[in-house]
């Protein structure tokens, strides 16, 4: 009888541990963007790009699929929408209209999927994992994060020209296909146009469809936690439009790690993913 009771207890514990987490599958495009298949308002099947730098969602004017059941007001806002992914459902998602998104997507969806929960971005298994309790973090390195206005910020060390490391804050930006992108302030303060080997210039559009001039250079060394990247291509904003006040840690750098973010958004935990040593993404 004791053996039977013990066996049933083990089954119960196993069942509880399985139920303590849920998964959301995704795919990673050749542009390093994460795409999640969603059903919005039980009617619109949309491929939405995961944007870690926002909470809710947005619909792109360049979408390939119809979003006829998302009703926007005069301010191009739609509230109280439902989102279904597999067997999971969310209510009260807000969508903004006419925001550009990554290629192969109909719009964006943010961290509202994980509100109040610890979650993992697993680039090795192509899935998000949502936890009800803190998971096993063996093999992960902790790094401090700040979470302000629905945006995660981390710190990285930058070596420009043999000088000492210059620590700066980066906003995690999974919508930007490239790696490190410096703000106007950082670029001017450290004179990146002269201190970096310049390898090109690109013109990009932001989510509001404004054109931004970006120069590309080679950074001798970049470090996050104990992880060091040598001769990394980086971008910085140039030209007269000086509106970029935040540096980005983009999708090409994010994909090089598996990430776990704690529920109170004060710590993240990282370890190398299968993409850690992949060639750097080239912005065309």
- The three-class DSSP label of residue 45 is strand
Q: Please name which of 19, 268, 53, 74 lies closest in space to residue 148, comparing C-alpha atoms.
A: 53
**What is the tens place of the pLDDT at every residue in 199-236?**
988 777 766 777 777 889 999 999 999 999 999 999 99
Q: What is the pLDDT of residue 214?
A: 84
**pLDDT over threshold 70, residue 11:** no
DSSP state of 102: -
Measured between alpha carbons, how far is 40 from 58 in angstroms, rounded to an integer? Answer: 12
Report percent pLDDT > 90 for the chain: 74
Q: What is the pTM of this model?
A: 0.88
Locate tokens 């999640």: which residue? 36
- Which residue ranges form the domains of the chain, and what is each CATH number? 20-131 (2.40.70.10), 141-256+263-270 (2.40.70.10)
Give the pLDDT band (50/70/90) at residue 80: very high
Contacts of 200-208 spanning 24+ positions with Cβ under 8 A: 201/238, 202/235, 202/283, 202/284, 204/283, 205/100, 206/100, 207/58, 207/99, 207/100, 207/101, 207/175, 208/99, 208/100
Q: What is the pLDDT of residue 239?
A: 64
- Residues 139-148, mean pLDDT to the nearest whole number: 96
**pLDDT over threshold 80, residue 125:** yes
Give the pLDDT band (50/70/90) at residue 164: low
- Residues 106-115, mean pLDDT to the nearest whole number: 97
Determine contact, residues 94/71, Cβ cutoff 8 Å: no
């Amino acid at each position: 009888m004791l053996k039977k009771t013990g066996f049933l207890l083990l089954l119960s514990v196993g069942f509880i541990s399985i139920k303590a987490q849920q998964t959301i599958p995704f795919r990673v495009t050749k542009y390093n963007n994460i795409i999640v298949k969603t059903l919005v308002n039980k009617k619109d099947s949309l491929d939405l790009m995961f944007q870690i730098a926002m909470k809710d969602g947005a619909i792109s004017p360049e979408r390939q699929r119809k979003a006829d059941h998302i009703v926007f007001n005069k301010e191009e806002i739609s509230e109280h929408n439902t989102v279904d992914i597999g067997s999971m459902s969310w209510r009260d998602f807000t969508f903004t209209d006419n925001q550009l998104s990554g290629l192969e997507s109909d719009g964006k969806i943010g961290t509202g999927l994980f509100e109040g929960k610890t979650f993992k971005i697993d680039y090795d298994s192509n899935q998000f994992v949502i936890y009800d309790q803190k998971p096993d973090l063996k093999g992960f390195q902790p790094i401090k994060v700040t979470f302000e206005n629905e945006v995660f910020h981390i710190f990285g060390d930058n070596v420009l020209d043999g000088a000492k490391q210059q620590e700066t804050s980066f906003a995690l930006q999974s919508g930007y296909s490239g790696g490190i992108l410096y703000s106007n302030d950082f670029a001017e303060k450290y004179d990146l146009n002269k201190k970096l080997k310049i390898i090109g210039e690109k013109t990009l559009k932001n989510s509001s469809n404004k054109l931004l001039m970006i120069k590309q250079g080679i950074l001798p060394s970049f470090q996050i936690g104990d992880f060091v990247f040598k001769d990394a291509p980086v971008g910085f904003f140039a030209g007269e439009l000086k509106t970029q006040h935040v540096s980005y840690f983009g999708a090409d750098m994010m994909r090089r790690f598996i990430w776990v973010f704690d529920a109170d958004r004060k710590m993240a935990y990282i370890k190398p993913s299968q993409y850690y040593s992949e060639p750097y993404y080239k912005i065309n």
